[in-house]
Amino acid sequence: QKEVEQDPGPLSVPEGAIVSLNCTYSNSAFQYFMWYRQYSRKGPELLMYTYSSGNKEDGRFTAQVDKSSKYISLFIRDSQPSDSATYLCAMSATRGRRALTFGSGTRLQVQP
Amino acid sequence: KAGVTQTPRYLIKTRGQQVTLSCSPISGHRSVSWYQQTPGQGLQFLFEYFSETQRNKGNFPGRFSGRQFSNSRSEMNVSTLELGDSALYLCASSLDRGADTQYFGPGTRLTVL
């Protein structure tokens, strides 16, 4: 069983919809949680970073971490066709966040 | 500011050969990490270098190795290539100051025939 599980999708939604992306994990040592977005033929880019449990909002994006359930979420409000990409959750037990453990990624398609 | 650059972008090799991939981090970044991305296993951490020293290592066989130069540029080498080594190899750099962000390059697509 993988340390981080993520539904691969694909997830197809109409423009303007609220998107919910989720990951579960098994390693209790994880304290730093990130969401990356990866467009086709590009490297991942950091969207959101959260330390321990709680919520964090940045524009249309909200990240939630529930350490008691070992569950993290990313919400995208008012989704746009430009949000179509693969979304990867990533986690780390160390403050430097460099040896990351990634989920397999969820492919999102926002239909205009 | 220029991003992380990786060369070559695409590479085709045959089984048994070896390959060297190169990564130039963002100017001023001292930490370089390497990841392998495949459809089956996703993104997996290979190793991290800082000040020319390997600081962290993932769970990969010894055929995978790397090094970092004094200018922070990094190379990774895979010897005795196997079909399963076909993947996108991603390099990421960071400043290495506390909880800083890793910036990824576009990757090198390696195909092993």
Write a three-state SS string for chain B.
CCCCEEECCEEEECCCCCEEEEEECCCCCCEEEEEEEECCCEEEEEEEEECCEEEEECCCCCCEEEEECCCCCEEEEECCCCHHHCEEEEEEEECCCCCCCCEECCCEEEEEC
Q: What is the DSSP letter of A111?
A: E
Note whether A95 contacts B33, CB cutoff 8 Å. Answer: no
Whether the CB-CB separation of B101 and A46 falls below 8 Å is answered with yes
Q: According to the model, what pLDDT value does residue A89 have?
A: 96
CA–CA separation, B38 and B20 (whole Å): 18
Widest distance between CA atoms in chain A: 41
Q: According to the model, what pLDDT value does residue A36 have?
A: 95
Tell me the pairing of strands A45-51 and B5-7: unpaired
Give the gap in angstroms from C-alpha B16 to the nearest C-alpha of chain A: 27
Contacts A105 to B, Cβ<8 Å: 42-43
Q: According to the model, what pLDDT value does residue B53 have?
A: 94
Q: What is the pLDDT of residues B11-51, one digit of tens each?
A: 999 999 999 999 999 999 999 999 999 988 889 999 999 99
Q: What is the pLDDT of residues B80-102, one digit of tens each?
A: 999 999 999 999 998 876 656 78
Q: According to the model, what pLDDT value does residue A9 have?
A: 82
Give the gap in angstroms from C-alpha A10 to the nearest C-alpha of chain B: 14
Q: According to the model, what pLDDT value does residue B40 have?
A: 84
CA–CA separation, A62 and A71 (whole Å): 14
Query: Which one of A25, A32, A98, A104 would you mutate to disrupt binding with B, by most B Cβ within 10 Å of its Cβ?
Result: A98
Q: For A11, phi and psi rounded to 5 degrees?
A: -115, 120
Mean pLDDT of B54-60: 91
Rounded to a whole number of angstroms, the distance between the first and last alpha carbons of chain B is 37
> For residues B99 and B62, which has the higher predicted lDDT (pLDDT)?
B62
pLDDT in tens, chain A (112 residues): 789 999 888 999 999 999 999 999 999 999 999 999 999 988 999 999 888 888 999 999 999 999 999 999 999 999 999 999 999 999 988 776 678 899 999 999 999 9
Q: According to the model, what pLDDT value does residue B56 have?
A: 87
Cβ burial, residue B46 (10 Å; 0-12/13-18/19+): buried
